[in-house]
Structure 1
Amino acid sequence: MSGSGAPTTDPISAPGLRIAVIASRWHDTIMDGLVDGALRACKDSGTDAPELVRVPGSFELPVAAVAAVDAGFDAIVALGVVIRGDTPHFDYVCRGATDQLARIAVETRTPVGFGLLTCDTEAQALARAGLPGSTEDKGYEAASAAIEVAVTLAKLRQV
């Protein structure tokens, strides 16, 4: 089961942190849940008003993420959903977006919260979207991870 064994932590205080939440527009209901969760995590951490940026689809998340890094954001939250279909399109989009988001994080040393759902069915995505009845809130988790790593990196840079 996804989420099994996940750490339980209180929100990290991060006032002044600049966060860009980059979200695709496919699958409105699922994306609404992911975005709401990410924005709630930012609020819970006391970060400044996060910048919400919408892109057409999940494949476009990396180019917007690197632009947000260039604009000086302290952390990026990448949100999207890709649901498996009958063609290999799923594999290409998932691999391309995932690989590039990881590359951006490592090469720029900027945290990228990974909130890209890669699901076999819409029901799996809905279960992870943080909506009423969902079992998980991946938008919240992705933003919390990005915020925690941004705070950790700031501490390491002061050593």
Structure 2
Amino acid sequence: MSGKGAPELSVRNCQDLRVAVIAAQWHEKAMDGLLDGALRALHELGIDEPTVLRVPGSWELPVAAKVLAGRGYHAIVALGVVIRGGTPHFDYVCQGVTQGLTQVAVDTGVPVGFGVLTCDTDEQAVQRAGLPGSTEDKGHEAVTAAVATAVILRSVSEPWH
């Protein structure tokens, strides 16, 4: 089971953070679960007015994240689903999206929560999407990781008093 060994993150003092969630539109059922999980996590953290953008697919996530990182967001969460097919398209999309989101985070210093499911089947995506009966909630996890990282980075960037 993936997710085994995940840390229990406790995030505090984050209500003032500007957070954006970017969600692809492909694979609607799994995407609905990912987005619901992300919004639920933000609400639990006291971040009740995130920016939510819907982009056509996972391929468009990095460019949207790059633009938002330059507009003062403290954390960005990228949500998408890519399902393996019978061609190498899956490999190119997964690699490009992963490298693009990594580049945005490293180049800008803005944490990017990685909520992109890269699965062999629709059933695997649904199991990770945080829907009723799912075994994992990757949208929730991506938000928690991004916001926790933003809080950690803020703690080292503020001057000592």
TM range (shorter): over 0.9
Matched-pair contact (CA < 8 Å) for 2:23–2:61: yes
Counterpart mapping for 1:1-159 below 5 A: 1-159=1-159
Shift, 1:32, TM fit: 0.5
Matched-pair contact (CA < 8 Å) for 1:75–1:110: yes
Q: Distance in 2 between matches of 1:150 and 1:42?
A: 13
Task: Extract unaligned runs of 5+ from structure 1.
Answer: none
Matched-pair contact (CA < 8 Å) for 1:13–1:46: no
Q: Distance in 1 between matches of 2:144 and 2:13?
A: 10
Deviations 1:82-110 (A, max 9, x none): 00000000000000000010011011000
Q: Distance in 2 between matches of 1:55 and 1:95?
A: 18
Q: Distance in 1 between matches of 2:154 and 2:13?
A: 13
Q: Distance in 2 between matches of 1:111 and 1:28?
A: 25
Q: Distance in 2 between matches of 1:43 and 1:59?
A: 27
Partner AA of 1:129 in structure 2: A
Q: Distance in 2 between matches of 1:10 and 1:108?
A: 25
Matched-pair contact (CA < 8 Å) for 2:9–2:144: no
Equivalenced residues, count? 159
Shift, 1:25, TM fit: 0.2
Task: Output the aligned Cα RMSD.
Answer: 1.0
Task: Extract unaligned runs of 5+ from structure 2.
Answer: none
Partner AA of 2:64 in structure 1: A
Partner AA of 2:40 in structure 1: R
Identity between Structure 1 and Structure 2 (%): 60
Shift, 1:10, TM fit: 3.8
Q: Distance in 2 between matches of 1:145 and 1:60?
A: 21
Deviations 1:32-63 (A, max 9, x none): 00001111111111124111000000000000
TM-score if structure 2 supplies the norm length? 0.96
Matched-pair contact (CA < 8 Å) for 1:77–1:113: yes
Q: Distance in 1 between matches of 2:13 and 2:158?
A: 18
My pick for the range that moved more, 10-19 or 81-90, is 10-19
